[in-house]
Amino acid sequence: MNNEVYVIGRDSAPQYLRLEAGEERMLTLVVPPGAGGRLVMEVDLVGPGASLDLAGLYLCPADERLDLRLLVRHTSGGCLSRQLFKGLVGGTARASFDGLVYVAQDAQKTQAFQENHTILLSDTAKVESRPQLEIYADDVQCSHGATTGYLNPEELYYLRSRGIPEAEARRLQMVAFLAPVLRRLPESLIEEIHACLS
Amino acid sequence: MNNDILLEIKNLHASVGEKEILKGVNLTLRRGEVHAVMGPNGAGKSTLGAVLAGRPDLTVTDGSVRYAGQDLLALSPEERSWAGLFLSFQYPVEIPGVSITNFMKAAISARRKAQGLPELTPGEFLKLLKEKMAFVQMKNEFAKREVNVGFSGGEKKRNEIFQMAMLEPTLSILDETDSGLDVDALRIVAEGVNRLRTPETAAIVITHYQRLLEYIVPDVVHVLKDGRIVETGGRELVERIEREGYESIHE
């Protein structure tokens, strides 16, 4: 499937998508350091067999204010939506993630999955994650999950004990955390993101 | 045998939070020697290994550790590794998303940089990786796996010995490397350790049981109880512990 990659502040990402029967879209959003702002995306899955594979990563290392708002509506049955958002928030940045998955009453056999994970890089960074499911059909498979945490100190100690300097060890941890989204990106963009992390 | 002192621990006290775990440990290790540190659960054996490796949440409250002429306690964990110290973890840490290859590439390249050596070429690195994987009987796909993720107990310990072989330490500390191993894995691990023994290097084998010491034969045996070394002797001490238990050994 063609993966559409949008770097916020550089490319104009679609704010609204309507997926007809059998239509499949794969999109990856990248919020680079300094971008922030409000980012809205609404998607309607209106015909059976439509599928959305949406992923994103956000890097807010300084004083960004990021407001991510995602709305995915399953109005037809037999559709699939997957969302995976991962972010690093540091400095005095604030990030909020609002993700609503709506499943209409007759959208049976819907599969909808949403995940949002954030790592805080400082004690002064803040994240608010609100993944929500609103389901009116009864034969569906849906899940959502959100986690917010810090880089694992046990991992850091283990890496350092093998001679990896602290800053490099942290970078490895960040790359590993972002890996599920990073692997959807072209090599040049991955390198750009790696450079941001060091 | 080179008789230089490699490690000298004097009156070492260490705490986790408010709780004192090591209460005055003294130990002198020379190049070419293997010392066993035995003791009951909770004696402070793992803490001793962790203090030497520089675990950040431990506080040294008194005493000193000299390693190869340096003040070991003044070094960061990565500097200790560059100086040739290696701790095989009792509970190796899982690092999802980081492959064995990338992990070792970062470790080797940081160490060479610290030592003022040029980076290995990708070909040289791959050759080293394959050679050391064969050393612990790991298959090729091992290099692509995420560090310790989904590894069996035996694989985790073999991975520790693999890393040890990659880093060629001067001082190896094996923390309960025998726990959770079947006989085959134990043999692979022990053979790996034995083949890394040289007159220049030394090892501390921390263990609760004598089992590993049948394969890795120590020169000196210490018994650690309640944060202190209460007895030091030769191999016969291992047999005595096996026969009479730790209760028989008093200060």
Domain enclosing residue B116, as ranges: 5-248
Q: Residue B118 maps to which CATH number?
A: 3.40.50.300
Verify whether the Cβ–Cβ distance A164 to B110 is below 8 Å. yes
Q: What is the pLDDT of residues A43-80, one digit of tens each?
A: 999 999 999 999 999 999 999 999 999 999 999 999 99
Q: Give how far Cα B43 sits from Cα of B93, B211, B228, Å.
A: 23, 19, 8
What ipTM was assigned to the predicted interfaces of this complex? 0.94
Q: Has residue B193 got a pLDDT over 80?
A: yes
Q: What is the pLDDT of residues B151-163, one digit of tens each?
A: 998 899 999 999 9
Could you list the pLDDT tens digit for every one of the 198 residues in chain A?
799 999 999 999 999 999 999 999 999 999 999 998 999 999 999 999 999 999 999 999 999 999 999 999 999 999 999 999 999 999 999 999 999 999 999 999 999 999 999 999 999 999 999 999 999 999 999 999 999 999 999 999 999 999 999 999 999 999 999 999 999 999 999 999 999 987
Q: Which residues of A touch B86 (CB under 8 A)?
A: 161
DSSP helix/strand/coil, B246: helix
Residue A177 sits at the chain B interface (C-beta within 8 Å) = yes
How distant is the Cα of B231 from the closest Cα of chain A, in angstroms? 30
Q: Has residue B2 got a pLDDT over 90?
A: no
Which of B87, B98, B111 lies nearest to residue A161, judging by beta carbons? B87
How distant is the Cα of B208 from the closest Cα of chain A, in angstroms? 23
Q: How many domains does chain B have?
A: 1
Q: Which residues of B touch A161 (CB under 8 A)?
A: 53-54, 77-78, 80-81, 86-87, 89
Mean pLDDT of B187-214: 90
Half-sphere exposure of B77 (CA within 13 A, CB side): 27
DSSP helix/strand/coil, B203: strand
Residue B92 sits at the chain A interface (C-beta within 8 Å) = yes
pTM as predicted: 0.89
Rounded percentage of chain B residues whose pLDDT exceeds 70: 98
Find all residues with CB under 8 Å of B42, minimum gap 6, and list them. none
How distant is the Cα of B135 from the closest Cα of chain A, in angstroms? 19
